Amino acid sequence: GAGVSQSPRYKVAKRGQDVALRCDPISGHVSLFWYQQALGQGPEFLTYFQNEAQLDKSGLPSDRFFAERPEGSVSTLKIQRTQQEDSAVYLCASSYQGEVESAPLHFGNGTRLTVT
C-alpha cells in the first residue's frame, strides 16, 4: 500500500463530541497537508506540516481544531466540541519535498464527518 491512508473512512458524531481523524502519509514524504472539503466545494487548506513541525495553521477555522504530527509521519486532526458546520470531508495529502519543487500532492480518500 503505497498511497496515503486515512481512517476512519466515515465518522458520525453528535454535536459537542470530540473526534480524531488519522492520516498515514506515503513513507518518506516530508510534507503533510490537511484540507476540508464541504459538499459541492473545492478543498480548503487547513494546515501544513514539514516533518513534525507545523509551519502553517492559518486555515484552521477555530481553536476547536487541532492537528499534530509528533514523529513526523502519522498525523491526527482533532476537532473538539463538534458543530454541524464541521460536517465535511477531511482530506490529507502528502508530498516529497526536497530538490523537486512543486511535487504533486498525493491525497488520501478522506474521512467524511457528519455531525448530527
Partner 1 sequence: AQSVAQPEDQVKVAEGNPLTVKCTYSVSGNPYLFWYVQYPNRGLQFLLKYITGDNLVKGSYGFEAEFNKSQTSFHLKKPSALVSDSALYFCAVRLGGYNKLIFGAGTRLAVHP
- Contact residues: partner 1, CB under 8 A: 4, 31, 33, 40-45, 48, 50, 55-56, 91, 93, 95, 97, 101-110
Cβ proximity to partner 1, 17 vs 106, nearer residue: 106
Contacts of 52 (CB under 8 A, 6+ apart): 69, 70, 71, 72
Q: Least distance to partner 1 from the beta carbon of 74, Å? A: 17
Question: Using an 8 Å Cβ cutoff, are 95 and 31 in contact?
Answer: yes
Task: At 7, list the grid cell.
Answer: 481512517
Q: Least distance to partner 1 from the beta carbon of 15, Å? A: 24
Q: Least distance to partner 1 from the beta carbon of 106, Å? A: 7
Cβ proximity to partner 1, 73 vs 109, nearer residue: 109
Task: At 19, list the grid cell.
Answer: 473526534
Cβ proximity to partner 1, 16 vs 55, nearer residue: 55
Question: Using an 8 Å Cβ cutoff, are 74 and 24 in contact?
Answer: yes
Q: Least distance to partner 1 from the beta carbon of 34, Å? A: 11
Give the integer Cα–Cα distance in Å for 53 and 15: 30
Cβ proximity to partner 1, 16 vs 61, nearer residue: 61
> In the chain, how long is the greatest CA-to-CA distance?
45
